Amino acid sequence: MEIPQEIPLHVVDTCELFGELSPQSLDNLKKWVEVEKFGADEIIMREGDKGNKLFIVAEGSVEVFQKLDFHINRTIRELKIGEHFGELALLSSENIRSASVKALEQPTICLTLSLTNFETLIRSDPDIALKMSHKFCERDHDNLQLLKSDLGNAFKSIIEALGAIAEYKDPETGSHLNRVSAFTRELATTLKGKPGFEFINEHFIDLIELSSPLHDIGKVGVPDHILLKPGKLTTDEWKIMKQHTVFGAQAIKKILKKFSYPEFLEMGHNIALYHQEFWDGKGYPEGLAGDDIPVEARIMAVADVYDALRSKRPYKEPLSHEIVKKVIVQSKGTHFDPRIVDAFVELETKFETIFDDLSKRGSEEE
């Protein structure tokens, strides 16, 4: 780090943080600031270190980043001329840096304000203190939002990866998973607000779309000679096959325990465990009936059966939309929740279009 000759004090006037300062306070501040110069990629401050100054970018730009687990660096933001960093450590009692910052350009010049002068400045004027606290809260809020969206993306990736694992062993294809996702979204959207489904909101719709590919994840626990058997299963083999619901739920439960945001996988758990239950109680694994079956599993059942019957499988030919519609309507009140069958009938043309479009796209990608 070398000290440049000229101190670019004009940056103080343009720094948003000091916008409320009187001309006299600004002049005082200009007497307090010092200047530091950095080369490209040079670390300006390090996360976890003690910090005793605030920085304002006067030339070039910097990157603020944090270390996540597994030694992965995560960029939080880039800061340009007039923007500031390093203030959070000055405000915390321990003065610990919450992030690292490196210079991006050659040269990057920063003005610095010491902790003592920073405190004098804040004490000098309540308006400044208030404005700064707003600013810092906004920044903290932004950081939190970023973390939340990172977390959301991580959950989504976990669910997608789990669904993809099931595909390796299951003769059903990836486009089956895409189609059932789309069907569950459509059914949930149509049911939203109808009597008995008032709790369905956009969040529920997003979650069911995301979670439905997990319905058969438990098939990874079924031995290949049963799962891939071309002929009819024996009674004992069928018993094991039915266990795929329980295997899937157990696997998801293990992951669920480790997360503090269980709702993400709770729906996947319910779908895996209960998607083979029947409205009249004659399904498996628990023989639940009616509203005792979680609604996401009841929606899944219609979506899954529609797609399975329409698809070609090693042991069966595909059926037309009209025939499948008939089968589903005939199973109203026995296999399926009658209200969900009504929603399906309302949506039937959409089901047909989704099936055709996503099947075409799926076979083009294979």
Minimum CB separation of residue 237 from Fe ion in Å reads: 15
CA 352 to CA 186: how far, in whole Å? 12
Q: Check residue 167 for interaction with Fe ion (CB under 5 A).
A: no
Strand partners, 43: 102
Sign, CA torsion 266/268/274/280: positive
Site mask for Fe ion (CB under 5 A), range 286-305, x = bound: ------------------x-
Among 216, 277, 296, 337, which residue interacts with Fe ion (rule: CB under 5 A)? Answer: 216
Which is nearer to Fe ion, 17 or 302 (by Cβ)? Answer: 302
- Comparing CB distances to Fe ion, the nearer of 89 and 273 is 273
d(CA 235, CA 173): 26
Amino acid, single-letter form, for residue 95: N
For residue 212, what is the DSSP state? G
Nearer of residues 17 and 214 to Fe ion, judged by Cβ: 214
Q: Please choose, out of 17-25, 102-110, 190-198, 210-218, the segment that lies near Fe ion by the rule CB under 5 A.
A: 210-218
d(CA 41, CA 25): 34
Between residues 97 and 269, which has the closer beta carbon with respect to Fe ion? 269
Give me 101's structure tokens: 């910052």
CA 351 – CA 179 distance, rounded (Å): 9
Per-residue HEC secondary structure of 189-233 comes to: HHHCCCCCCCCCCHHHHHHHHHHHHHCCHHHHHCCHHHHCCCCCC
Closer residue to Fe ion in complex, CB, 118/306: 306
- Nearest approach in angstroms of CB 221 to Fe ion is 12
Site string for Fe ion, 51-90 (x = CB under 5 A): ----------------------------------------
Contact positions vs Fe ion (CB under 5 A): 216, 304
